[in-house]
Structure 1
Amino acid sequence: MANVSVAAEWLLLYNRYYRKPELYPMRWKHIDLSRNKVACAAFGGPIAVIRDDSKIVQLYAESALRKLRIFNSAGVLIAETVWKHPGGRLIGMSWTDDQTLICLVQDGTVFRYNIHAELLEPNISMGKECFEQNVVDCVFWGNGLVCITEANQLFCVSDFKNPQPYKLSDPGLEDSPLCVAVIEPQYVMSGNVEVLMGVSEGGLMVVEEDSVQRVEQVGGEVLGPLQKMAVSGDGKWLAAFTHDGQLLVMPTDFSEIKFSCNCESALPPEQMAWCGMDSIVLYWDDMVLMVGPIGEPVRYLYDEPVVLIPECDGVRILSNSSMEFLQRVPDSTVSIFKIGSTSAAALLYDALDHFDRRSAKADENLRLIRSSLPEAVEACIDAAGHEFDEKRQRTLLRAASYGQAFCSHFQRDRIQEMCKTLRVLNAVRNPDVGMPLSIKQYKSLTSSVLVGRLINAHQHLLALRISEYLGMNQEVVIMHWACSKITASLAIPDVALLEMLLDKLQLCKGISYAAVAAHADKNGRRKLAALLIEHEPRPSKQVPLLLSIGEEDTALMKATESGDTDLVYLVLFHIWQKRPALEFFENFLG
């Protein structure tokens, strides 16, 4: 019966099943997505929400102060701050790959915030022309941004780690583009961003830094005006919605139209996104439509506004009340739970049920699949990895373990590995942490990046436990915790704070006390810095820092004790430069 209830939630798009489990009921209160600008980070990242000043809205009981709020994916508030930036209307905002929130305003100024809603300095200007002409639209990708001015000029920052704005070629447009999309630099031969613009006279313009190309025909067919575009995650395909309600999919070299579909609405969708690489999801104000290369589209009806968040293996759908994940059902899951399935994996899953009920049919099932038992065990392990429901994960892993007992040629550590992975995933999916990663997202993100994200979100204990569990270096976590503790504990006396810090720093052999001391010094805690340096075992790290905080005598003593002549010279030259010559000779040679 379990098989029926699992598969009953699926919908068929031609010959592929899709499912849309709810990841979280949203914990926020009184958030209406239709009245706000919203930016959602990929890989289960944070959600930024701010009142949309381009819409006239009744403020109800809200304060007139605009607030930028940052939530996790379950709607738990992480941080908020008052938005007090001049420079005109907020044109757009988005999260970069390292979870920095980029906010672009009308005069071309870019404000950057971290996940704790703290403004990062310096602000970035997109240049004089943007300031004079006003920015009207923008498109973001991983670490970059392209903005369009009222005069239809394009300006680009291709990497916010090194923010150097530059101008792209003049597309020579009189009217504003109907829609804009970008092909990321990593997928372009030249290594520069390609901007695609749908224009009112039909077809599209491909704009680069030093060229403009007009595409009027694709595979012999004339392109009408395009109303909405979305580029696939690997940069190879473009989905475009035409003025007469057709959805076209073509390669980004525009050599042919791969398929077209009539969406029965000439009204362009509000949002459009790729669902992995298998289908395209379009959203109008009450309906989500999923279109595949063949077969009838699938409809989902909504009575509240939604935001589509494309992921590498599906689309997350955020509404006022829930976070869902629309994805293709993995083949292993289909083979086990498809209604009427007689695959080896389905029979193994069934055998466990009979075994639990002490029925002899368990043995009968195992005899039937003896030759393909390893494949059945593998399918149960794989399906467990794709599940968000912990109870179902457990049952699938028990089925795999049950089958493995009768299987002599199976890698014993596969189940162990999957248990480890799922423990990590279940821990970060907890609503208080709110990172609903799928196993595919986790593998492409990597565990070290996940730990880095947990550290930045100040989930230090969880980050430490995961690092320990996966046998990773814990030094990064403890160092970050120590520095954060110093910044946040201004009221705690130095000696008390030192005890707290040493308690944790001693967990990690070879940790750099000097780096933590340097951070304390930077935060104006010179005494704490001096106390921490005492615990640094490496004179080469200890001595320069003692000099920088003005402890010359201690530095000279430590340098002498180390027997390192270079360090002794370093201290002497430092004192020689700082003190008058007479005093220097009196002290050291008198």
Structure 2
Amino acid sequence: MSSSVSVAAEWDLLSDRFYRRITIYSPLPWSSPATTTASSSGGGSGGVGRLDLSTHIVAAAPFGGPIAAVRDDSKIVQLHSEPSRRRLLLFSSSGHPLASSPWTPHLPRLHSLAFSSSLNLLALLSDGSLLRFHLPDLRPTPSSSPVPLLPPASGGVADAVFWGGGVAILTEDNRVVVTTDIEVDDPHPRELADPGVSEDEQVLCMAVVEPQFVMSGSPEVLLGVGDRVVAVDEDGVQVLGEALEIGPVQRMAVSPNGKLLAAFAHDGRLLVIPTDFSRIIFEYECDSALPPDQIAWCGLDSVLLYWPEVLLMVGPNGDPVQYNYDEPIMLIPECDGVRILSNSSMEFLHRVPDCTTLIFGIGSMSPAALLYDARDHYDKQSAKAYDNYQLISSSLPEAIEACIDAAGYEFDVSRQHTLLKAATYGLAFCSQLRHGRFQEMCKMLRVLNAIRDPEIGMPLTIQQYKLLTATVLIGRLIKANQHLLAFRISEYLNLNPEVVIMHWACEKIAASAAIPDIVLLESLLDKFPFKLANSLLIEKVQVEESGYDIPLLLSIDEQDKALQKSIESGDTDLVYLVLFHIWQKVAVEKNAPLDFFGIINARPLARDLFMTYARHSKHEALKDLFLSTGRLQDAAFLLLKESRELEKNPMASKGSPLHGPQVRLVEQAHRLFAETKEHLFESKSAEEHAKLLRVQHHLEVSTKQAIFMGSSVSDTIKTCIAMGNDRAAAKVKSEFKVWKMSSINFYFF
């Protein structure tokens, strides 16, 4: 059990939970004076030197994403330690340089950097304008000039909070502007309600409850103003927590699930409060009333506070855990913990999983711990291995599951192997557990270990991998130009590698403008069939202009972008390809046709193309589209068309089950026409037609003759007289108000 003791010695106890700080990469390449950046199309290569977090504006993407940095021009630096000209730098999480581009001079001061959910780099300038850069080469977006997000005369940016799809900006004159479509070339910022901050008041801090956690679907901005916290949205302003009397709040952070708020008060108390400020869940008195430089959640169980040289982890009970750093750090929240970036290393701090605690906890006698120990005795050819097995034979499946799960949470490859070997030892005696569970974990670990390699530098945990999904991971590898690894993972996981090959080919074509097409074609033939390679060359100009690969966008669930790009291409076949993909994903798999209609209604060309297609094969979908957009008359005409198609059906002439649906379709059309004042004639006609069909259906049932449906009123009366059924003829005559006609001239009506 000595190995278990050494493992548990790395942990820290916070209340009744263990946490561990794992060093993922150390030292980082940028900590070496010899570090140089990769060349980029925009700026070539250049020396980086030692990247000091204290002198740079830095952003890091979640899910083990890349790191971007620009020297902060408001900080004083030694001339010999930094290049004289500022550069925009891009690194992997392992510190390997990916790209470098000169920072454009004469721009307004850079306020902050951030990454969007699709891993585009965003630069917010102090005047409220936004610059976007594509990865991995830091190529500016087609509209390379800054896009303004603030209204005129707003005074510039006082504070800003980014999330995956948007940004909330507090202006210097205390207005709140939110942009939720930050990914598009032409975003649509909107100003929220006036927060009611007077001229002599100061906004101390700011946080955002993201749209997916708000019932309205719009972001809610929290502002610490004086002795109160106000929640600002489009509908108004609400003062929160007045009854709690927490005083001025100087720092805030919203939990990953959007339900809790960590707030640092002016008197040095850390408070955890529901975002509706209904009560104080717990509080902790810090030793200092000086507000921390950073505050972040570590999962859902603890909060991190960072002052220079001190990182404090506070939980709901017990003493906090303190970590000391002699260099500046940056906290990067993840869904299951926090990455800690310093000048020299990348660490990951998270709660120790329960399965790992069961195995490696000091003194643990759980079945999983005994199974792990049994494998150790087996390797040493000790009889104690069988003794341990006998102790846990009734709990063997649970012990095996725990060993498999614990292997997934480990970054250390040798420890992964040891835990999986313990699981295989148990599997030899257990027939109740499906062996596929073991193979699945081995597959995931092979993928995770491959992308965690410092040359790749994507330190995903297993929880992050499951949340991100393999498809999106491959999309990220493609975006980083790691085509070979993306291709191998696609094949290994039995995913379609076509997206990888397509993107690789597009990049090769875009980078080979000076190469004759025939030479380029020959170089592509090794990877592509002739027809596909030739098609790529034909589309070369379009690929170079758009900079996007539509199949790639679809593969990473960027449907809006893919649809927009297909429309811009002018290729209707491409638009149809995207439409069918979105229909399958949204309307069929998610059973949300209204969401699909919302997507296409904003784009007239896509809507019209879908309507053209649906008129021939998807009447029900077209009818739902008309109803969702208030085009009741169009839906009614479509119902009448369906009724006529049923009437033409050969089965309809045999008196039967199609008559009921046919009548119901006409009645539905009547009700829809009746809701519009402009279609009173159509409404009355449909009502009369439905009534005639019901009468004719009754006549066919009573006479057992399938000769009435679809005929006119006069023909119906004439047929009744010809059959000698004068009573039925008179009833039809009265029902439909046919006047001044004798029984003789019915034959000639």
TM-score bracket for the superposition, by shorter chain length: 0.7 to 0.9
Residue identity opposite 1:168 in structure 2: L
Does the Cα contact within 8 Å between 2:163 and 2:210 map onto a contact in 1? yes
Deviations 1:10-32 (A, max 9, x none): 00001100000100011113111
Name the residue aligned to 1:18. Answer: 19
Q: Tell me, what secondary structure is at the counterpart of 1:468?
A: helix
Name the residue aligned to 2:305. Answer: 282
Deviations 1:230-266 (A, max 9, x none): 0011111110000000000111111111111111110
Matched residues in 2 for 1:46 and 1:297: separation? 31
Does the Cα contact within 8 Å between 2:521 and 2:537 map onto a contact in 1? no
Matched residues in 2 for 1:206 and 1:257: separation? 17
Q: 2:157 aligns with which of 117, 135, 138?
A: 135
Matched residues in 1 for 2:532 and 2:490: separation? 15
Q: Tell me, what secondary structure is at the counterpart of 2:141?
A: strand
Name the residue aligned to 2:168. Answer: 146
Q: CA deviation at 1:85?
A: 5.0
Does the Cα contact within 8 Å between 2:150 and 2:189 map onto a contact in 1? no
Q: CA deviation at 1:92?
A: 1.1
Residue identity opposite 1:488 in structure 2: A
Residues 1:67 and 1:97: Cα distance change in structure 2 (over 3 Å): same
Does the Cα contact within 8 Å between 1:475 and 1:511 map onto a contact in 2? no
Q: CA deviation at 1:36?
A: 0.7
Q: CA deviation at 1:512?
A: 8.0
Residue identity opposite 1:109 in structure 2: S
Q: 1:117 aligns with which of 134, 138, 147?
A: 138
Does the Cα contact within 8 Å between 1:107 and 1:131 map onto a contact in 2? no
Does the Cα contact within 8 Å between 2:121 and 2:134 map onto a contact in 1? yes
Name the residue aligned to 1:28. Answer: 30
Matched residues in 2 for 1:310 and 1:398: separation? 33
Name the residue aligned to 2:723. Answer: none
Farther-moved stretch of structure 1 (462-471 vs 28-37): 28-37
Residues 1:183 and 1:371: Cα distance change in structure 2 (over 3 Å): same
Residues 1:435 and 1:522: Cα distance change in structure 2 (over 3 Å): closer
Q: 1:257 aligns with which of 280, 285, 298?
A: 280
TM-score normalised by L of structure 1:
0.86
Residues 1:165 and 1:401: Cα distance change in structure 2 (over 3 Å): same
Matched residues in 2 for 1:235 and 1:138: separation? 18
Residue identity opposite 1:197 in structure 2: L
Deviations 1:107-155 (A, max 9, x none): 2210011222111132453346356522222111111011122111111
Residues 1:127 and 1:117: Cα distance change in structure 2 (over 3 Å): closer
Residues 1:375 and 1:84: Cα distance change in structure 2 (over 3 Å): same
Kindly indicate whether residue 74 of structure 2 is the aligned counterpart of residue 79 of structure 1.
Answer: no
Name the residue aligned to 2:215. Answer: 189
Does the Cα contact within 8 Å between 2:5 and 2:360 map onto a contact in 1? yes
Alignment of 1:225-304 (within 5 A): 225-304=248-327
Name the residue aligned to 2:556. Answer: none
Q: Tell me, what secondary structure is at the counterpart of 2:264?
A: strand
Residue identity opposite 1:137 in structure 2: D
Matched residues in 2 for 1:130 and 1:513: separation? 50
Q: CA deviation at 1:53?
A: 1.7
Residue identity opposite 1:166 in structure 2: R
Alignment of 1:141-540 (within 5 A): 141-162=163-184, 163-173=187-197, 174=199, 175-200=201-226, 202-217=227-242, 220-506=243-529, 514-515=535-536, 517-520=538-541, 523=544
Matched residues in 2 for 1:158 and 1:128: separation? 14
Does the Cα contact within 8 Å between 2:154 and 2:173 map onto a contact in 1? no
Does the Cα contact within 8 Å between 1:107 and 1:130 map onto a contact in 2? no
Residues 1:434 and 1:127: Cα distance change in structure 2 (over 3 Å): closer
Deviations 1:173-228 (A, max 9, x none): 1233100000001111111111101112x1211111230111242xx421200000
Does the Cα contact within 8 Å between 1:183 and 1:194 map onto a contact in 2? yes
Name the structure with the higher strand share: 1
Residue identity opposite 2:539 in structure 1: A
Does the Cα contact within 8 Å between 1:87 and 1:107 map onto a contact in 2? no
Q: 2:87 aligns with which of 64, 67, 70?
A: 67
Give unpaired runs (5+ residues) of structure 1.
Answer: 525-543, 546-590
Farther-moved stretch of structure 1 (396-405 vs 203-212): 203-212
Residue identity opposite 1:463 in structure 2: A
Does the Cα contact within 8 Å between 1:182 and 1:196 map onto a contact in 2? yes
Matched residues in 2 for 1:520 and 1:504: separation? 21
Matched residues in 2 for 1:225 and 1:476: separation? 52
Residue identity opposite 1:193 in structure 2: P
Residue identity opposite 1:81 in structure 2: S
Deviations 1:384-432 (A, max 9, x none): 0000000000110011011100001111111110000000000000011
Name the residue aligned to 1:552. Answer: none
Residues 1:327 and 1:216: Cα distance change in structure 2 (over 3 Å): closer
Does the Cα contact within 8 Å between 1:429 and 1:436 map onto a contact in 2? yes
Name the residue aligned to 1:6. Answer: 7
Farther-moved stretch of structure 1 (370-379 vs 144-153): 144-153
Q: Tell me, what secondary structure is at the counterpart of 1:161?
A: coil
Does the Cα contact within 8 Å between 1:486 and 1:520 map onto a contact in 2? no
Matched residues in 1 for 2:544 and 2:104: separation? 26
Does the Cα contact within 8 Å between 2:241 and 2:278 map onto a contact in 1? no
Does the Cα contact within 8 Å between 1:355 and 1:362 map onto a contact in 2? yes
How much identity, in percent, do the aligned residues show?
55
Does the Cα contact within 8 Å between 1:44 and 1:435 map onto a contact in 2? yes
Matched residues in 2 for 1:124 and 1:55: separation? 24
Q: CA deviation at 1:502?
A: 1.6
Does the Cα contact within 8 Å between 1:73 and 1:434 map onto a contact in 2? yes
Deviations 1:449-495 (A, max 9, x none): 00000000000000000000000011100000000001112343322
Matched residues in 1 for 2:543 and 2:241: separation? 59
Give unpaired runs (5+ residues) of structure 2.
Answer: 32-49, 546-569, 572-749
Residue identity opposite 1:31 in structure 2: L
Q: CA deviation at 1:59?
A: 2.8
Q: CA deviation at 1:60?
A: 2.5
Q: 1:100 aligns with which of 120, 123, 136?
A: 120
Matched residues in 1 for 2:83 and 2:347: separation? 30
Farther-moved stretch of structure 1 (443-452 vs 98-107): 98-107
Does the Cα contact within 8 Å between 1:147 and 1:154 map onto a contact in 2? yes
Q: CA deviation at 1:511?
A: 5.7
Matched residues in 1 for 2:533 and 2:509: separation? 15
Residues 1:308 and 1:522: Cα distance change in structure 2 (over 3 Å): closer
**Structure whose alpha-carbon radius of gyration is higher:** 2
Residue identity opposite 1:225 in structure 2: P
Farther-moved stretch of structure 1 (208-217 vs 416-425): 208-217
Residues 1:322 and 1:300: Cα distance change in structure 2 (over 3 Å): same
Q: Tell me, what secondary structure is at the counterpart of 1:288?
A: strand
Residues 1:366 and 1:210: Cα distance change in structure 2 (over 3 Å): same
Q: Tell me, what secondary structure is at the counterpart of 1:369?
A: helix
Kindly indicate whether residue 66 of structure 2 is the aligned counterpart of residue 46 of structure 1.
Answer: yes
Farther-moved stretch of structure 1 (156-165 vs 278-287): 156-165
Q: CA deviation at 1:517?
A: 2.9
